[in-house]
Chain A
Amino acid sequence: MAKRIDVSGLTAYYGSHKAIEDISMTVEPRSVTAFIGPSGCGKSTFLRTLNRMHEVTPGGRVEGKVLLDDEDLYGAGIDPVSVRREVGMVFQRPNPFPTMSIFDNVAAGLRLNGKYRKSELNDVVEKSLKGANLWNEVKDRLNKPGSGLSGGQQQRLCIARAIAVEPKVLLMDEPCSALDPISTLAIEDLIGELKERFTIVIVTHNMQQAARVSDRTAFFNLAAVGQPGRLIEIDDTERIFSNPSVQATEDYISGRFG
């Protein structure tokens, strides 16, 4: 079910500004890959190119190849909408739909794609909420608005919403940066469970978090402000944090950055 991502020679632009340049990497299925690096180095931009959300930004365009199990996401005739059904995304700030109840939020992906029956929806919603470790907290108030939950619960609601459509890959853009340590722990545990079923890519500023949750870690950096971000290296998380092969990575990780 989970799929492998193969990126080769990927360059992304905002208008005429080159945000990231010539990135190539492989993301293994059923694993957690963490992206670390300073602000503005293009981690989030790169993440958004993996499900074609980058082009939603006005002026956003991409060169290069992203293969999802041998199929090029940027190939001719590929529908970005179907790509996003395969590659789900969780954002930095929890963003449940304010007009919808908790139930409707989780069902949104299926219902908005318009092909599910009521009984099926009930099952999918329960399964997804259980998958996001939120079921016990909300099962008695599924019809209440999702915006009434706490920040951590809202973020898990967003994860439930994303996994309800059964994507092959789950992208997470700093999912814990707006949360307290306890909610962060809940979501990190959840990531550990979800990697049994999905390929997970997570952007984080928290290096301990990268060390805790990920199997492989990629370090991004930029030469100077205004220069495009580049992939410095990607390796097993243990190796990156103990014995990285590039000096810049070691400097960044040990806090001797800049």
Chain B
Amino acid sequence: MSTAAVTDKRPSSLRGASLPKWSPWAIAAGSVVVAVAIGLIGGLSSKIQWGLIAAILFVLGTYGIAARVEGRRQAKDRVATSLVWVAFLLAVIPLVSLVWTTVSRGVKVLDVYFLTHSMGVVADSEPGGGIYHAIIGSLEQVGLATVIGAPVGILTAIYLVEYGRGKLAKSVTFFVDVMTGIPSIVAGLFILSLMLIFEMQPFGFAGSLALAILMMPVVVRSTEEMLKLVPNELREASLALGVPKWRTILKVVLPTSIGGITTGVMLAIARIAGETAPVLLLVFGNPFINNNPFEGAQASLPLYIYQQYAQSAGANAAYDRAWAASLTLIAFVMILNLVARGIARWKAPKTGR
């Protein structure tokens, strides 16, 4: 009988037994069921523990079953795949949970009134009011920081990639690396010390300066990488046409990499838009609308969120406003990212016929 089976199957060294396509899902479902059972029987209260047990069971179960049916090499392959999936889920769950919490709590008071009014005549513990002043503050501070930080960062990167040789370039690279690691509060303290020397009161532009310091190294790094991706052949082709170097950079190198550079700048903007510490030190916060970033305290979205949470003495209205402002901030950053992607796609070198 065994010989019959063998002749039937035509033994081939290229074809081995394999698990059906749905087996990962079955193993996943099985491990979740077992994990829930273990959790209930063992009296584990935390759902996180259940999830981790399920993840471990999934990886071990995949290996055990695959090793038995398919052999050790395929089992290792499947374990690697399942580890990647588990890691992916572990990364995505907090993200989804964060977005879900923010949206579900934020939509309560988020409306046109909220976006177009300030907290000028509303006490922090009472309902009403809005974030118009904080939006204005954020836009102005981040905008000014970008106007300073992006050109300086892009030009530094151009220097490093196109001109930089020897010690100066190396030390610039080193200091950019150091700047990348500066905590935001230190950048804030640096500007604050200058403000104290000149005996100035908090104002929006001081915050912009600190944000620009934080933004610059991010822009330098990303722009540098993008410029390095431009093939040297294009530079040589342009130089060989008798085009001066600066014009080659301006007309050939930058247009080729503009999509990536824009993405980098947008991500840097997204990073500084959420900074609270330097704004707290330098811009101070202000419940009234102040359109002038060069004089007087201003508000900003992250600062507003912090102050609503910290100064409202547990009032629900303030918590709701903090969540709504968080949602606005996330939406702002997400819109920036979408714009960056749009520009990157629009400006990408064309390949079509």
Report A's interface with B, CB cutoff 8 A. Answer: 51, 53, 56, 58, 81-86, 88-89, 91, 93, 95, 97-99, 108-109, 112-114, 144-145, 147-148, 158, 161-162, 165, 167
B349's closest neighbor in chain A, by CB? A98
Residues of B within 8 A of A88 (CB): 240-242
List 11 other contacts, CB 8 Å, given A98-B256, A99-B349.
A91-B236, A93-B233, A95-B233, A95-B234, A95-B236, A97-B237, A97-B252, A112-B238, A113-B242, A148-B352, A162-B240
B245's closest neighbor in chain A, by CB? A81
9 cross-chain pairs, A with B, having the tightest CB-CB distances, nearest first? A85-B242, A98-B349, A109-B241, A89-B240, A148-B353, A145-B350, A84-B242, A95-B233, A112-B243
- Listed A/B pairs (25) with beta-carbon separation below 8 Å: A51-B240, A56-B235, A56-B236, A84-B241, A91-B233, A91-B236, A95-B233, A95-B234, A98-B256, A98-B349, A98-B351, A99-B252, A99-B255, A99-B256, A99-B350, A108-B243, A108-B252, A114-B247, A145-B351, A147-B349, A147-B351, A148-B350, A148-B352, A158-B237, A165-B241
Residues of A within 8 A of B236 (CB): 53, 56, 89, 91, 95
B351's closest neighbor in chain A, by CB? A147
Q: Is B251 part of the contact surface with A, judged by Cβ < 8 Å?
A: yes
Known contacts A109-B243, A113-B242; A145/B352 CB under 8 A:
yes
Contact with A along B289-324 (1 / 0, CB 8 A): 000000000000000000000000000000000000
Residues of B within 8 A of A56 (CB): 235-236, 239
CA gap between A11 and B241 in the complex, in Å? 24
Shortest distance between the CB of B39 and any CB in chain A (Å): 56
**Interchain CB contact under 8 A, B238 and A108:** yes
**Interchain CB contact under 8 A, A53 and B239:** yes
CA gap between A20 and B253 in the complex, in Å? 31
CA gap between A251 and B242 in the complex, in Å? 39
B237's closest neighbor in chain A, by CB? A95
Residues of B within 8 A of A158 (CB): 237
Residues of A within 8 A of B16 (CB): none
Q: Which of B129-174 contact A (CB under 8 A)?
A: 165
Q: Is B231 part of the contact surface with A, judged by Cβ < 8 Å?
A: yes
Shortest distance between the CB of A247 and any CB in chain B (Å): 36
Residues of A within 8 A of B251 (CB): 108, 112
A145's closest neighbor in chain B, by CB? B350
Shortest distance between the CB of A236 and any CB in chain B (Å): 29
Interface size counted on chain B using CB atoms at 8 A: 26
**Interchain CB contact under 8 A, B243 and A113:** yes
**Interchain CB contact under 8 A, B237 and A81:** no
Shortest distance between the CB of A51 and any CB in chain B (Å): 7
**Interchain CB contact under 8 A, B241 and A161:** yes
**Interchain CB contact under 8 A, B352 and A109:** no
Q: Is B248 part of the contact surface with A, judged by Cβ < 8 Å?
A: yes
Residues of B within 8 A of A81 (CB): 242-244
Known contacts A99-B255, A112-B243, A113-B243; A91/B350 CB under 8 A:
no
Shortest distance between the CB of B244 and any CB in chain A (Å): 5
Residues of A within 8 A of B238 (CB): 97, 108, 112
**Interchain CB contact under 8 A, A165 and B242:** yes
Residues of B within 8 A of A98 (CB): 234, 256, 349-351
A144: contacting residue among B234, B240, B247, B353, CB under 8 A: B353
Q: Which of B221-274 contact A (CB under 8 A)?
A: 231, 233-244, 247-248, 251-252, 255-256
Shortest distance between the CB of A86 and any CB in chain B (Å): 8
Residues of A within 8 A of B233 (CB): 91, 93, 95
CA gap between A147 and B237 in the complex, in Å? 14
Residues of B within 8 A of A58 (CB): 165
**Interchain CB contact under 8 A, B237 and A84:** no
Residues of B within 8 A of A93 (CB): 233
**Interchain CB contact under 8 A, A84 and B352:** no
